[in-house]
Amino acid sequence: MAVDEIEWKAQVHRALVEGERTELLRLFAYAEELFGSEAGSKWAAALSGFDACAVTG
């Protein structure tokens, strides 16, 4: 899976909307591979940038 940061963030948001816990775990593991020591901050940014109300109404 070779994705850039924008696509990775979109996948995180899709998994949040769909409630896919397994996919979220996989995406976090991929974040560690993709971003290294910055994975935690990238993960936090992806989650904080997500507005569930905008997606779910």
Q: Is the pLDDT of residue 57 over 80?
A: no
pLDDT of residue 1: 52
Backbone Cα Rg of the chain: 11
What is the chain's mean pLDDT, rounded?
A: 88
Rounded CA separation 9/42 (Å): 9
Map out the domains of the chain as residue ranges.
5-56
Residue 54's pLDDT band, with cuts at 50, 70 and 90, is: low
Of 1-10, 17-26, 44-53, which has the strongest mean pLDDT?
A: 17-26
| Segment of 13-17, 21-25, 50-54 carrying the highest mean pLDDT | 21-25
